[in-house]
Amino acid sequence: MNSYKGKILISTPDVSGDIFSRSVVLMVDHSENGAFGLILNKKNEDVSRGVAQLLGFDVEVYEGGPVENDKTFFIVKGQAVNDYHLKINENYYLTEDTETIIEQLLSNRLDVNDVKVFSGYSGWAAMQLEGEVQRKYWTVVDIYDLDYTLSNDHNLWKKIMQNLGGEFLIWANAPQNISLN
């Protein structure tokens, strides 16, 4: 089995009408038991406004996926601020430790620009993701210079598709609703 851990999934236009339409997913974990990822480009404006009012500063909250939307996850750039984290790579880690992250942000020991907040996650059962990749619902790419904590919107999908070139250029420039083309 090829692990997609640390790779990016780009949804193909076959995946439409749901949260995965034009999604860019960071694969945080992938094994024979299943897969766990976070959608990097689906900001939830309503939740972001609510959290900003609560904390007193702007915080962007992204929809990590359709699973367990009541759970909060943080991708953090830099040195881990707690023992309860999963290393994504040399520069980033994932944690669910809301209390510590908020405490670090409020005390200015952590910069809000070094944190990306997610509500929920994207999960796949054993061999489910492999089947979806085989059916071409997803394109798996290695992107080494993507800042996971940057503010990303729907343009991220288009930019990556354009960089892939070839047939992906057609999809990058297609309207959201392909039937309007």
Which residues, at least 6 apart from 104, have a Cβ–Cβ distance to it below 8 Å?
Answer: 81, 110
Range of 71-75, 151-155, 164-168 with top mean pLDDT: 71-75
Picking from 10-24, 84-98, 130-144, which range would have the lowest pLDDT averaged per residue? 10-24
Task: Report the pLDDT value the prediction gives residue 145, as an integer from 0 to 100.
Answer: 82
How would you write the chain as a 3-class SS string?
Answer: CCCCCCCEEEECCCCCCCCCCCCEEEEEEEECCEEEEEECCCECHHHHHHHHHHHCCCCCEEECCCEEEEEEEEEEECCCCCCCCEECCCCEEEECCHHHHHHHHHCCCCCHHHEEEEEEEEEEECCHHHHHHHCCCEEEECCCCCCCCCCCCCHHHHHHHHHHCCHHHHHHCCCCCHHHC
Residue 173 lies in a domain: yes
Average pLDDT over residues 46-73: 92
Comparison of pLDDT for 54 and 35, the residue scoring more: 35
Say whether pLDDT at 1 is over 90. no
Rounded CA gap, 119 and 85, in Å? 17
Residue 51 lies in a domain: yes
Q: What is the mean pLDDT of the chain?
A: 89
For residue range 63-110, what is the model confidence (pLDDT) as tens digits? 999 999 999 999 999 988 888 899 999 899 999 999 999 999 999 999
176: domain CATH number is: 3.40.1740.10
Residue 2 lies in a domain: no
Q: Is the pTM of this model over 0.85?
A: yes
Q: How many domains does the chain have?
A: 1
Say whether pLDDT at 165 is over 60. yes
Say whether pLDDT at 179 is over 70. no
Which range of residues forms the domain containing residue 71? 8-180
